[in-house]
């Protein structure tokens, strides 16, 4: 028996995210105070591994367990997401349908949950980060600003198509919008993205080109919740 089925939050998303996690699941191999119990029998699970020569995708098995059982509520259990091989594992994708055969992946950018590119760096003197974001067709439009707060929209622009994919209020002392992946994930030779929004109570969104509707470049398809445990 898959033990997470004994929990009342399995395959549960928060209000506003009801359209996500229907055909795809995004997981990170880590312990969290948020219950990311997402699993469907018969689905295909892929691990994306960082190697010396690039990113390798492998079929894997996944599991969940409680590191330190606490009160049974959404925010207070230390849940561990694990796989059959966690070494150098960046993230996990679950899919209702099997991905095309493509073991070697060459992204424009691939970070992890601790060192992704913050959108605070977009207009900084960090030429390397600025160049990567431009290669990923990403731009940030500041709506209004004061010395401590920026309100911004994150936009994709490619071959004449423009699509807003996120918005955020950014305090200068907090990383609230971070690029974790830019490159093809689903084998259609188009760019996909993984972006994290927020810090204390954050969520990471997977955007896939294959799922995009007419007139779109990508579509948000999966969410992973995280944040502080205090």
Query: pLDDT (tens digit, 9 = 90+) per residue, 71-112?
Result: 445 445 577 888 989 999 999 999 999 987 766 778 888 887
* Residue 126 pLDDT > 70: no
Q: How many domains does the chain have?
A: 1
Q: Which residue has the higher pLDDT, 68 or 78?
A: 78
Taking all residues of the chain, what is their mean pLDDT, rounded to a whole number? 79
| Number of C-beta neighbours around residue 169 at 10 A | 13
Is the distance from CB of 49 to CB of 55 less than 8 angstroms? yes
Full-model pTM: 0.84
The residue count for the chain: 230
Task: Supply the pLDDT for residue 142.
Answer: 64
Q: What whole-number distance in Å separates Cα of residue 78 and Cα of residue 179?
A: 25
What is the domain extent for residue 218?
3-227
Residue with tokens 């920026």: 150
Using alpha carbons, select from 164, 182, 172, 190 the residue that is nearest to residue 119: 172
Task: Provide the pLDDT for residue 113.
Answer: 65
Instruction: Return the pLDDT at 125.
Output: 47
Q: How far apart are CA 192 and CA 213, in angstroms?
A: 14
The confidence score (pLDDT) of residue 172 equals 45
Query: What is the rounded distance in angstroms from the CA atom of residue 109 to the CA atom of residue 144?
Result: 29
Scan for tokens 């605070």, then name that residue. 120
What is the DSSP-derived secondary structure letter of residue 127?
Answer: H
Whether 12 has a pLDDT exceeding 80, the answer reads yes
Please tell me the predicted confidence (pLDDT) of residue 175. Answer: 45
């Amino acid at each position: 028996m898959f033990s997470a089925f004994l929990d009342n939050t399995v395959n549960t998303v928060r209000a506003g995210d009801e359209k996500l996690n229907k055909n795809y699941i995004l997981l990170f191999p880590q312990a969290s105070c948020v219950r990311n119990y997402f699993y469907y029998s018969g689905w295909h699970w892929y691990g994306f591994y960082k190697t010396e020569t690039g990113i390798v995708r492998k079929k894997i098995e996944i599991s969940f367990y409680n590191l330190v059982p606490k009160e049974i509520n959404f925010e207070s259990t230390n849940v561990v997401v694990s796989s059959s091989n966690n070494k150098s594992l960046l993230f996990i994708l679950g899919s209702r349908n099997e991905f095309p055969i493509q073991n070697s992946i060459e992204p424009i950018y691939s970070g992890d949950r601790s060192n992704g590119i913050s959108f605070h760096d977009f207009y900084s003197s960090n030429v390397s980060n600025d160049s990567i974001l431009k290669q990923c067709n990403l731009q940030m439009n500041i709506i209004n600003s004061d010395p401590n707060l920026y309100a911004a929209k994150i936009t994709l622009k490619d071959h004449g198509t423009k699509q807003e994919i996120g918005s955020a209020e950014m305090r200068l002392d907090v990383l609230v919008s971070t690029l974790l992946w830019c490159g093809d994930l689903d084998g259609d030779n188009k760019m996909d993205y993984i972006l994290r929004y927020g810090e204390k109570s954050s969520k990471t969104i997977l955007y896939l080109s294959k799922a995009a509707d007419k007139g779109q470049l990508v579509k948000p398809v999966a969410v992973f919740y995280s944040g502080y445990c205090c």
